[in-house]
Amino acid sequence: MPNGLNPHIQHLLESIQVSIILPQEVKEMLIKSIEVRELKKGDIVIEEGTHCNELFFLNYGLIRIFYYRDNGDEVTSSFVQENEFFTNVKGFVNETPSSETISIIENSCICSIKKEKYFAIMQKHPIFFYVSHQFINKHRVELEDRIKMLQSLTAKEKYNNFKATYPKLINRVQLSYIASFLGITNETLSRIRK
């Protein structure tokens, strides 16, 4: 950027500041720490088995996170939509190799920040701890909702729940991704849709 702020970083800052205004000094630390990357459909952000010591934010595009079942089948663990944060949580938290692959399913722009820089900001500016706290709690609620869905709904109900929860995804991702996300087979999903 010759002069002025990278618009993608600007966008991320605005997204954080929906609930709280960040002090100028925090913003400056963030701006210095964030990297912006443009990615194309099919690109891989994090490969299973590699280290994921970054936290990401999706500016625009669409991302899928998946892992492999014992028999080799891919299982979608989540979809990431615009303005959402993502990472391999387990790898990021425990400093272990990623158990998942993060892949681009529509051309995307992502921001990333290294774990050490992220923690450095929190340490220096506790308000950023608060912000982080809010986001991870929101994520916990989402995870609990998904457990409820998987625990107690039939295949048909799962699909209806998916349409209601992720209305923007239904015509953007292939059915096999949705099927494994819901814990059902492609054929069952195909039949349900009629």
Partner DNA sequence: TTGTTTTTTTGACAAATGTCAAGCGTAAAA
Partner DNA sequence: TTTTACGCTTGACATTTGTCAAAAAAACAA
Question: Under the rule (CB under 7 A), what is the footprint of DNA?
Answer: 154-156, 174-176, 183-191, 193-194
Q: Which of 13, 67, 82, 185 binds a copy of itself (CB under 8 A)?
A: 67
For residues 178 and 194, what is the distance between their CA atoms, to the nearest angstrom? 16
C-alpha torsion sign, points 84, 88, 91, 97: negative
Q: Is 181 in the site for a copy of itself (CB under 8 A)?
A: yes
Nearer to a copy of itself by Cβ, of 5 and 20: the residue is 20
CB of 38 to a copy of itself, least distance (A): 28
Q: Examine residue 152 and tell whether it contacts a copy of itself (CB under 8 A).
A: yes
| Residue 190, contacted partner among DNA, a copy of itself, none, CB below 5-8 A by kind | DNA
Q: Quote the least distance from Cβ 121 to a copy of itself, whole Å.
A: 12
Closest CA to 53 of 110, 94, 85: 94
Return the number of the residue (33 or 176) whose C-beta is nearest DNA.
176
Hey, is 104 helix, strand or coil? strand
Structure tokens at 15: 């997204």
Strand 35-39 relative to strand 44-46, pairing: unpaired
